[in-house]
Amino acid sequence: MPLSQPPAPSFDQALDTVCQRLRGSMTELLAEAKAPMESPTELSRHLKLNKTLAWRASKIVTAVHPRAVLEFLPAGGSIDILLDACQKAGSSPQAIAQTRDALAALSEVVETHAGDKATFDLILASDTTGGGTAALMEGRRLAFMGNSATWGIQGQTRFAANFIAPAAGEAGERGMLDFATLGGLIGVRRLRADVSVPLFMRHTYNDDGSDGRKAFGETIDVPGAGPLDLPLIREFCTENNASLTACPLSGSAIRYDLLPGPIGNTAQTNWVFGWCDRATVSKFRDPVNRYGECSVKNFVPVETLICDLFIHRGWRLTSLPMAMLTGQLGGEFHFPHWRERDRLPLPEVVESLGEFPPSPATPNIPRYTEMVRTVHARCGWDPADFVGYRLIIKHPPIPTTATMRWPLVDPAGT
């Protein structure tokens, strides 16, 4: 009875194996050449290589994750230059052959599992855990250019800042929180005159995806304005509200769309908006809500997305918020069972902005510190009472939602 053939290795298995082979064979190759592997400068002198090639060789053998070798692998004839230099420095024919065999094995993995190098690079771009970050970033940049041409619009920066502080009086004693939002788009320019796209959205939701409260609080600029009034902070905008319109959606959502208009740099605009909701959310978890979140939906191709969170010292988080990026190809809203399926690779992490007060200034947003102070002043808060956190995403894909998430407080105190 013939023995059954073992199953062919999966892509991940085959790639991990060949990357280990590459790193191992390169290490033995340089060791036999008595090359100082951890110092690119010394390695360059020892093997008489240019600094870039020596740096790549050093990165390959010192890579923490085996797949990182793919990011630093010399291209074209550079690998032959490296092998010749190692041979002259004392590496054995066996070590050189072993390295060439590992390179051939990598080519076989590419052919078997991807068919060609371009498709192989696309697969790697989705792997941010094993050295695919550079490929992912380049894919995002190219997508930014393509989406700009497709949708006929682009911007420099999409930003959103959320402010959370204990509510005043009895509501605050019950754990209710005030919640303010500052956001906008910087350097928006149409590339086609007929463009009409959503710029931003107001939407409240529960952990289970259901709509949150139906009413919105007051705008920062014009207290008493209704939910369909544009929540622009006009002193930071470069154009009046004639180019925007409010579009009510289902549930508690309102979308604000940019209307057709002039194109190019001479018509470039900045849009800044903000509102404050008093005593509308709780710091305590309940059977439906176990997490607090602040999100920024991105519909416009931009170079940079910034999501900030400012939390009052009266309710400090015990750790940095978690960041996630979810796609919205299936619609603008996400429910829990969809959100995990729709999560996209996100190598960026949340960082601290400092505390008491945090330092919000960034070159991506002109007058940003002034904007933040305006929100504090309009809401009656002292900036010195806040802690800050920031998530920065370069060339974020669209349509997506970037989210910071943190656990709510157990009402039982456990």
Residues 122 and 212 in one domain: no
* Average pLDDT of the chain, as a whole number: 84
Least confident of 25-29, 171-175, 261-265, 331-335: 331-335
Residues 113 and 236 in one domain: no
Report the pLDDT averaged over residues 205-224. Answer: 61
Domain count, the chain: 2
Report the pLDDT averaged over residues 133-154. Answer: 90
In this prediction, residue 319 has a pLDDT band, given cuts at 50, 70 and 90, of: confident
* Domain's final residue, options 131, 146, 177: 131
Residues 25 and 108 in one domain: yes
Q: What is the pTM of this model?
A: 0.73
Would you state the structure tokens that stand for residue 391, as one six-digit string? 């998530």
* pLDDT score for 3: 52
Give the CB-side neighbour count of residue 49, counting CA atoms within 13 A.
33
* C-alpha distance from residue 21 to each of 55, 95, 98, 100, 355 (Å): 19, 12, 9, 11, 47
Residues 97 and 159 in one domain: no
Model confidence over 57-86: pLDDT tens digits? 999 888 877 788 888 888 878 999 999 999
In this prediction, residue 412 has a pLDDT band, given cuts at 50, 70 and 90, of: confident
Of all residues in the chain, the percent with pLDDT exceeding 90 is 38
Residues 391 and 258 in one domain: yes
In this prediction, residue 402 has a pLDDT band, given cuts at 50, 70 and 90, of: very high
Residues 245 and 351 in one domain: yes
HEC sequence for 365-393: CCCHHHHHHHHHHHHCCCHHHEEEEEEEE
Residues 333 and 383 in one domain: yes
Residues 121 and 240 in one domain: no
Higher-pLDDT residue of 144, 259: 144
Q: Is 221 a domain residue?
A: yes
* pLDDT score for 131: 52
CA distance 197 to 183: 17
Q: Is 3 a domain residue?
A: no
pLDDT higher than 50, residue 1: no
Residues 382 and 256 in one domain: yes
pLDDT higher than 90, residue 374: yes
Residues 177 and 96 in one domain: no
Residues 244 and 333 in one domain: yes
In this prediction, residue 252 has a pLDDT band, given cuts at 50, 70 and 90, of: low
Domain that holds residue 75: 11-131
pLDDT higher than 90, residue 204: no
pLDDT higher than 90, residue 153: yes
Residues 267 and 365 in one domain: yes
